Amino acid sequence: MSAGDFHCGTVGITGRPNTGKSSLLNRLIGQKLSIVSPKAQTTRHLVTGILSVPGCQYVFVDSPGFQTLHTNMFNKSLNRRATEAARDADVVLWVIAAPKLVEADRNFLSRVPAGQKVIAVANKIDLAKDAERMMPLLEEISKARTFHAIVPVSAKSGKNVDELMRVIREALPVAPALYPEDQLTDRDERFFASELVREKLFRELGEELPYSCEVAIDSFKEEGALRRIEATIWVDRESHKPIVIGDKGERLKRIGTAARKDMERLFDGKVYLGLWVKVKRGWTEDERALRSFGYN
């Protein structure tokens, strides 16, 4: 194969919250990199997943869902990241949750530059009982903008994902690989340790509290085959601490056990995980606190 036949570029996975963007990334690269939960806006950081196959290297970038319901400093930071992922990518995947196009979908699409190459991805088609129910959605999408392609898929089942990969490859520029063939991501193990704890918080807690929680890795040491990790769960109010900890510490124990097991699978080795819960009042509006958590 000549150098002129090789395709490589960045693919921004974008859209409103809760359309299955992170599940789609995990399905596309064949491994769990982005954390997922049924709650909207689980993703807070740009997560890069790299897939190298003969003739092509895909550099997928998962982004936070763009939303307008909350306008604090924290959510403005997340929205900037979502917009950057669309603006800076070679190809944009605009992910919609079937079977309906909503105003929030259009809101985000309007922020994607007119010259950007966009593939509309109608996700969650497994929820539609038959193909005919998808036709009105696909017709509505086709009127929203001129797309490189419109591809219905199911990130959950994998249906039509091979076709999506083909379409993306066709859209990527002819260019040499950006990363070594065996590299999976540009994030380190500390980042994924923090994300896995936060995923369990989203799964364990109610509707509102997870959004007031953040996780910081205090210490990450490799002792032979063992990774010894100490982390702090930061909450916004003193009253949140007992909710996270639970009766006699049972909830915190469940969170820690589930996160540790996932870390051991991801890191392929034994993990000791120590968790602490502390209060940092008003951190979602504190610029210094946001920087310390990795938000610009």
Least confident of 55-69, 152-166, 262-276: 55-69
My answer on whether 201 and 159 are in the same domain is no
- Same domain, yes or no, for 113 and 16? yes
Is the same domain home to 97 and 222?
no
153 and 211 inside one domain:
no
Are 136 and 18 part of one and the same domain? yes
CATH number of the domain enclosing 201: 3.30.300.20
Where a domain ends, among 171, 197, 222?
Answer: 171
Same domain assignment for residues 31 and 90: yes
d(CA 82, CA 43): 10
Give the side-chain half-sphere CA count within 13 A for 58: 26
Which of 171, 198, 217 corresponds to the end of one domain?
171
Domain match, 167 and 197 both: no
Total domains in the fold of the chain: 2
Confidence of residue 208 (pLDDT cuts 50, 70, 90): low
Confirm whether 71 is domain-assigned. Answer: yes
CA–CA gap between residue 219 and residue 201 (Å, rounded): 20
Claim to verify: residue 210 and residue 157 sit in the same structural domain: no
* In a domain? residue 74: yes
Does one domain contain both 24 and 158?
Answer: yes
Per-residue pLDDT tens digits for 87-113: 889 999 999 998 889 999 999 999 899
CATH number at residue 103: 3.40.50.300
- Same domain? For 10 and 55 the reply is yes
- Which structural domain range is residue 21 located in? 3-171
pLDDT of 74 over the 70 cut: yes
Tell me, yes or no, whether 149 and 269 share the same domain.
no
Mean of pLDDT values over 12-40: 90
Instruction: Label residues 209-232 b or e (16+ Cβ within 10 Å = b).
Output: bbbbbbbbbeeeeeeeeebebebb
pLDDT at 1 over 60: no
What SS3 class is residue 81? helix
Residues 158 and 264 in one domain: no
Query: What is the arithmetic mean of pLDDT over 45-57?
Result: 94
Residue 195: its pLDDT value, please?
94
